[in-house]
């Protein structure tokens, strides 16, 4: 019988939530790596038992953990992330030059074709790749060195490379996003990169239409249409129909277009989900109501999804990597909150219920659909 495995990274460890295809009863395993920050856990689509986890601590730095048995056991692999060459400087919050310093891995993206190949998006922003199952890491330095790096600036949460999207139709094409620099695309497997931010407008930066400097929070793609991208920017929900060459705003009737995650329905490429947050100064839902908004038209027209979600006195946040979908016939949607709840909907968002309520603050949610 089919099932799902939800991989949850939190401020104090990782959790693995499993269920059968009904997604009603859940088994909770964890905490794995208790007490450590787990920014991200993700499984290989080629070998679902192969998981990678980013484990970090202000005291002890970065670890990468690998599992070959779906999270039952783990082994630490390589944690040496060294920038290629002389790292140079990016902008600090006050605009002054600041040296590149490795802090942590925000996002791990396993290759679509090889379980031993995995990409790591790190803070300070750079893209690394391992081809030996995480034992050794090399920077794809064409990104940081393509020319605009000196103008990148950290967002409030740091200058993280937080999104890595691999094009399933073209193994040479990779999209990444950085706060606060924007979207970049490579068409040669990560050797060279171009900014992909035309159409983005950010009022809080000196040139609102700048080539780089935009605080992109998340981008998402449907596998069947890799030239269509959706974006939750700091403010504004955007879409691109030309693989990032240009962007149009699709915030439409959202109560606020600030937020962090965005994701796409597994079977309906024009159905997308966001979680509106009141503002960048407040980081909680408007009116104390936790609402997922769904558009079935690829943006602009949005409906609130509230059944099973708290509609009063709710002041949690949903972080950028904390939403995911499964690929079962009735698409499941999942998200985690900074209040430690992981909510699941087995009917594409119509109805929600918590899988768990009292985890540490959730940093990331990924889902594996199991045969």
Positions touching other proteins (CB under 8 A) are 35-36, 57-63, 76, 79-80, 82
CB of 58 to other proteins, least distance (A): 6
With a CB cutoff of 8 Å and minimum separation 6, the contacts of 104 are 37, 39, 54, 56, 62, 122, 123, 160
Question: Is the Cβ of residue 130 or residue 271 nearer to other proteins in the bound state?
Answer: 130
Question: Is the Cβ of residue 59 or residue 94 nearer to other proteins in the bound state?
Answer: 59
CB of 82 to other proteins, least distance (A): 6
Asked if residues 8 and 31 have their Cβ atoms less than 8 Å apart, the reply is no
CB-facing half-sphere around the CA of 240: CA atoms within 13 A? 23
With a CB cutoff of 8 Å and minimum separation 6, the contacts of 108 are 40, 41, 42, 52, 53, 54, 64, 118, 119, 120, 121
Question: Is the Cβ of residue 105 or residue 309 nearer to other proteins in the bound state?
Answer: 105
Distance CA 29, CA 247 (A): 41
CB of 55 to other proteins, least distance (A): 9
SS (H, E, C) 298-309: CCCCCEEECCCC
CB of 107 to other proteins, least distance (A): 20
Question: Is the Cβ of residue 231 or residue 362 nearer to other proteins in the bound state?
Answer: 362
CB of 33 to other proteins, least distance (A): 8
Tell me the β-bridge partners of 10.
Answer: 13, 362
Distance CA 341, CA 318 (A): 10
CB of 43 to other proteins, least distance (A): 22
Question: Is the Cβ of residue 60 or residue 93 nearer to other proteins in the bound state?
Answer: 60
Question: Is the Cβ of residue 61 or residue 171 nearer to other proteins in the bound state?
Answer: 61
């Amino acid at each position: 019988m089919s099932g799902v495995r939800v991989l949850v990274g939190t401020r104090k460890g990782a959790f693995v939530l499993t269920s059968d295809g009904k997604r009603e009863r859940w088994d909770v395993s964890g905490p794995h790596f208790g007490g450590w920050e787990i920014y991200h856990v993700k499984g290989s689509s080629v070998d679902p038992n192969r998981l990678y986890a980013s484990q970090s601590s202000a005291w002890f730095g970065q670890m990468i953990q690998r599992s070959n048995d779906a999270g039952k056991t783990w082994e630490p692999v390589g944690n040496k992330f060294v920038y290629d060459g002389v790292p140079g400087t990016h902008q600090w919050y006050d605009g002054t030059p600041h040296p590149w310093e490795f802090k942590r891995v925000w996002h791990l993206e396993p290759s679509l074709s090889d379980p031993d190949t995995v990409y790591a998006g790190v803070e300070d922003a750079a893209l690394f790749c391992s081809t030996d199952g995480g034992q050794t890491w090399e920077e794809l330095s064409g990104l940081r060195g393509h020319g605009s790096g000196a103008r990148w600036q950290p967002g409030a949460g740091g200058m993280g490379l937080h999104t890595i999207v691999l094009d399933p139709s073209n193994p040479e094409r990779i999209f990444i996003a950085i706060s606060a620099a924007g979207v970049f695309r490579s068409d040669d497997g990560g050797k060279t990169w171009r900014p992909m931010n035309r159409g983005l407008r950010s009022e809080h930066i000196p040139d609102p239409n700048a080539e780089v400097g935009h605080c992109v929070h998340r981008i998402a793609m449907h596998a069947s249409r890799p030239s269509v991208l959706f974006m939750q920017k700091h403010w504004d929900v955007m879409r691109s129909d030309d693989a990032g060459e240009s962007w149009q705003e699709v915030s439409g009737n959202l109560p606020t277009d600030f937020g962090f995650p965005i994701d796409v329905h597994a079977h309906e490429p024009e159905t997308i989900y966001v979680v509106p947050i009141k503002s960048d100064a407040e980081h909680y839902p408007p009116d104390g109501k936790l609402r997922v908004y769904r558009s079935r038209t690829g943006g602009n027209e949005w409906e609130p999804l509230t059944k099973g979600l708290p509609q009063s006195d709710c002041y949690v946040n949903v972080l950028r990597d904390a939403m995911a979908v499964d690929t079962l016939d009735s698409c499941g949607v999942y998200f985690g909150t900074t209040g430690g709840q992981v909510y699941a909907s087995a009917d594409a968002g119509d109805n929600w219920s918590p899988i768990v309520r009292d985890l540490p603050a959730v940093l990331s949610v990924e889902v594996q659909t199991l045969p």
